Amino acid sequence: MMQEVLRLENLQKSFGSVRALKNASLTLKEGEVVALLGDNGAGKSTLIKAISGVFPIDRGDIYVRGKKVSIRSTREAMDLGIETIHQDTSLAPDLSIARNLFLGREPVNLKWLGVFAPLDLAKLRDAASALLKRVGISKKLDANALVSTLSGGERQSIAISRAMQFAAKVIILDEPTNNLGVEETHGVLRFVKEMRAAGHSVLLITHNIHHVFEVADRIIIMRRGEIVAEQTVADTDLLTVESLITGADLSALMKRA
Amino acid sequence: MVQQVMVQQVGAVISEDGAGRAKGRSSLMRSPQFSSFVILIVLLVVFAVADGNFLSPLNISNMMAFLPELGIIALGMTLLLTAGEFDLSVGAVFALAPVVVMLLVQNAGIDIGVALFAGLLLCIAIGAINGVIVTKIGISSFLVTLSMLLIVRGAALYITQGFPLKSWDQPGFFVTLLAGSFNIGAFRFYTSLWWFIGLSLLAVYVLHYAKLGNWISAIGSNRNAAVARGVPADAVKIWLFVLTSVLAGLAGMISAFRISAASPVAGTGYELEVIAMVVVGGTALTGGRGTILGTIVGALMLRAIRNGIVLVGVPGLAYNIFVGVIILAMLILHALLQKNAARS
Ligand SMILES: Nc1ncnc2c1ncn2[C@@H]1O[C@H](COP(=O)(O)OP(=O)(O)OP(=O)(O)O)[C@@H](O)[C@H]1O
Ligand SMILES: [Mg+2]
């Protein structure tokens, strides 16, 4: 029943002499929330950037629903149903909220005009306002407001609403609760649960282990570019996960104390 | 599922709409192109009061003859600046295109239509080279187009041996098309004004209403964000470099046909004058925020200043002092307005 949606096999990526990703493999199933954990610089962002087409991988295979694919651009990743919210924020500050929500997938009239097609401004504004209301992870925002006038948390909320809107198969969130207040953080976690309930798969990167235990089904831990452990949330505990992330045996330490 | 919810909520959203629009109106009053427009009016009034001839049909006709030539280039430059790049080679292309076209016609005996087509290809090539080096090799557009300025200007000087080409006095279809003139009452206008008006409308449409405009602003505002949304940022930039080069060549042809001569030193310094028009109009030099209406106001303003200070009797060698001071004042005003808007 739980069908495989995304499978990565032996992904490798180097930046010059830095081997950011060495042989990373993982599987993501339908309706599953997988948390990707690891210390700063472990290679988490690099891994998800490779999946979302930000840069090409050096070696390795990517399968979407069992079919081997090559993702050469962000557009191709989006077309395969992979939506990503990057850690280094992904909005254009000089554009309005509405224009950001639909960036790259603008509703237009006269579609045959291609890139010269006129934007359907009414639809853009209305859909944006409706979406902001539905997400509810933020106070009322005017869809015409420029993103440069928003707080960091509000921007994050906008980026998340955008991923929701296209109802992608795989939603990747790179530290989505950074900069968020209490209310917005719960909004994000609620969103993750909602997405799972609707059958989407979520790959969640975070440094907050409490959040992981709240929403995730499975945990994958990375260290220095490699996947070092994989656990189901039901069969593990906070201490074990923390020690796996740092590489030190914390639980042994605790017992001794 | 999401779509259904959206449709249900559209009704509820309409009530908020009025408030949103009212806000839009007050922000228009504070927008840079609006303040530029007010200053343009002030300048026109000052010049008109200082010298009765400023608004005479002859003088207005004169201003309108020059306006399109720099204005057309400024339209392309606005789009390019909005995408976060600029082009210093436009003044040189303005000279090289007509020089090459007229050499082909006069020395090689090639048909004017074919020669114009060759000129067009040349401009496309120059723009494409600028764009490809900037985007694919990743050198700043300042350095790339500065080098291109030297190459293109050098080429124009070399192939003409530094001399203006002998005058072009054969009227024909293309001359009428680009530099024909007509009278409306006491005013004498050139067809180039129609080109400018038409291209302006097109540019307003593309930048503010078309999908492409959304991409251009997004690229200039945050390139990585645009790329992450599947916007082909490099391709858009390359095409904008091509467009700007082609418009510079077109402006050069218009000018050469109007004065019936092609000079290898034509358009010297135009690159900076054009960039001044664009930023005075309110387009941000750093990208992301562009306004075609502002550029039109900026083009009118620089034209009016250059024309007005002559009539008012400023000594010739002091022109640039005034032009520089007025540009600086405009930019300070924009910066202050921007600060205020951010605070409120
Ligand atoms: N574009 C790049 N060029 C060079 N090195 C890079 C680049 N991107 C990442 N790296 C390096 O690759 C390694 C992994 O980085 P990555 O961003 O994937 O870490 P991360 O796990 O997301 O860390 P964090 O939790 O701090 O976000 C780091 O050593 C980083 O310095
Ligand atoms: Mg990261």
Nearest CA to ligand 1 atom 7: A15
Q: What is the pLDDT of residue B50?
A: 86
Is the residue at A93 inside a domain?
Answer: no
Q: What is the pLDDT of residue B11?
A: 30
Q: Any idea which ligand is nearest the CA of A42?
A: 1
Atom of ligand 1 nearest to the CA of A55: 1
CB contact residues (below 8 A), chain B span 260-289, against chain A: 284, 288-289
Is the residue at B23 inside a domain?
Answer: no
Q: For chains A and B, count residue pairs whose Cβ atoms are closer than 8 Å.
A: 129
Is the residue at B25 inside a domain?
Answer: no
CA angle B108, B105, B164 (to 5 degrees): 100
Instruction: Say which range, A47-51, A53-57, B116-120, B313-317, has the weakest mean pLDDT.
Output: B313-317
Between B35 and A40, the higher pLDDT residue: A40
Residues above pLDDT 70, as percent of chain B:
89
Atom of ligand 1 nearest to the CA of A44: 21
Query: Which tens digit of pLDDT belongs to each residue from A91-129?
Result: 999 999 999 999 988 999 998 999 999 999 999 988 888
| Domains of chain B: total | 1
Mean of all residue pLDDT scores within chain B: 85
Chain B residues closer than 8 Å to A105 by CB = 229-230
**Averaged pLDDT for residues A4-24:** 91
Element holding A218 (H helix, E strand) = strand A218-223
Q: What is the pLDDT of residue A88?
A: 66
**Does A144 sit within 8 Å of B228, measured CB to CB?**
no
Instruction: Say which range, A163-167, A178-182, A189-193, B126-130, has the weakest mean pLDDT.
Output: A163-167
Residues above pLDDT 70, as percent of chain A:
91
Q: What is the pLDDT of residue B156?
A: 96
Domain limits for position A179: 4-88+168-256
Q: Which residues contact B140 (CB under 8 A, 6 or more apart)?
A: B134
Query: Which tens digit of pLDDT belongs to each residue from B28-56?
Result: 666 777 888 888 898 889 888 888 888 88
Please give the Cα distance from A12 to A10 (Å, whole number).
6
Is the residue at A120 inside a domain?
Answer: no
Say how many Å lie between the CA of residue A38 and the centre of ligand 1: 12
Q: What is the pLDDT of residue B290?
A: 93
Chain A residues closer than 8 Å to B222 by CB = 90-93
**Averaged pLDDT for residues A210-219:** 92
Q: Is the pLDDT of residue B19 over 70?
A: no
Measure Cα distances from B87 to A147, B65, B83 in Å.
28, 24, 12
**Averaged pLDDT for residues B185-206:** 91
Is the residue at B211 inside a domain?
Answer: yes
CB contact residues (below 8 A), chain A span 100-159, against chain B: 100, 103-106, 108, 113, 115-119, 121, 125-127, 129-131, 133-134, 142-144, 148-149
Q: What is the pLDDT of residue A161?
A: 79
**Averaged pLDDT for residues B15-22:** 34
Domain limits for position B155: 33-343
Q: What is the least distance, in Å, from the CA of B27 to any CA of chain A?
A: 11
Q: What is the least distance, in Å, from the CA of B297 to any CA of chain A?
A: 22
Is the residue at A15 inside a domain?
Answer: yes
Chain A residues closer than 8 Å to B12 by CB = 130, 133
Chain B residues closer than 8 Å to A88 by CB = 224
CATH code where residue A32 lies: 3.40.50.300
**Averaged pLDDT for residues B317-333:** 84
Chain A residues closer than 8 Å to B211 by CB = 106, 108, 115-119
Q: Which residue of B has its CA nearest to A164?
A: B2
Query: Which tens digit of pLDDT belongs to each residue from B151-165?
Result: 999 999 999 998 888
Q: Is the pLDDT of residue B8 over 50?
A: no
Element holding A165 (H helix, E strand) = helix A152-165
Could you identify the residue written with the tokens 């993501």?
Answer: A28
How sure is the predictor about B142, in pLDDT bands with cuts at 50, 70 and 90? very high
- Highest-scoring range by mean pLDDT, A230-239, B69-78, B326-335: B69-78
Q: Is the pLDDT of residue A246 over 50?
A: yes
Q: What is the pLDDT of residue A69?
A: 92
Within a 10 A sphere around the Cβ of B25, how many other Cβ atoms? 8
Q: What is the pLDDT of residue B82?
A: 97
Q: What is the pLDDT of residue B300?
A: 93
How sure is the predictor about B26, in pLDDT bands with cuts at 50, 70 and 90? low
Q: Which residues surround ligand 2, an ion (CB under 5 A)?
A: A 45, 87
Q: What is the least distance, in Å, from the CA of B58 to any CA of chain A?
A: 39
Q: What is the pLDDT of residue B13?
A: 29
**C-beta of residue B119 within 8 angstroms of C-beta of residue B100:** yes
Is the residue at B177 inside a domain?
Answer: yes
Say how many Å lie between the CA of residue A132 and the centre of ligand 1: 32
Residue A118 DSSP code: B
- Minimal Cβ distance to A126: which of B10, B24, B232: B10
CATH code where residue B113 lies: 1.10.3470
CB contact residues (below 8 A), chain B span 225-244, against chain A: 225-232
Nearest CA to ligand 1 atom 8: A46
Is the residue at B123 inside a domain?
Answer: yes
Q: CB distance from B342 to chain A under 8 Å?
A: yes
ipTM, 2 dp: 0.77
Q: Is the pLDDT of residue A152 over 50?
A: yes
Is the residue at A195 inside a domain?
Answer: yes
Mutate to test the interface with B, among A49, A73, A74, A101 (most CBs of B within 10 A): A74
Query: Which tens digit of pLDDT belongs to each residue from B227-238?
Result: 988 899 999 999
Residues within a 6 A CB radius of ligand 1: A 15, 18, 20, 38, 40-46, 87
Nearest CA to ligand 1 atom 24: A40
pTM, full prediction:
0.83
Is the residue at B28 inside a domain?
Answer: no
Q: What is the pLDDT of residue B10?
A: 29
Torsion angle, CA of B7/A161/A157/A92, rounded to 10 degrees? -100
Is the residue at A148 inside a domain?
Answer: no
Nearest CA to ligand 1 atom 26: A40
| Domains of chain A: total | 1
Chain A residues closer than 8 Å to B218 by CB = 92, 95, 99-100, 103
Q: What is the pLDDT of residue B65?
A: 87
Q: What is the pLDDT of residue B15?
A: 28
Residues above pLDDT 90, as percent of chain A:
37
Is the residue at B239 inside a domain?
Answer: yes
The tokens describing A91, both together, are 């909005």
**Averaged pLDDT for residues B194-206:** 96
Is the residue at B6 inside a domain?
Answer: no
Q: Is the pLDDT of residue B294 over 90?
A: yes
Is the residue at A94 inside a domain?
Answer: no
Say how many Å lie between the CA of residue A23 and the centre of ligand 1: 16
Q: What is the pLDDT of residue A201?
A: 92
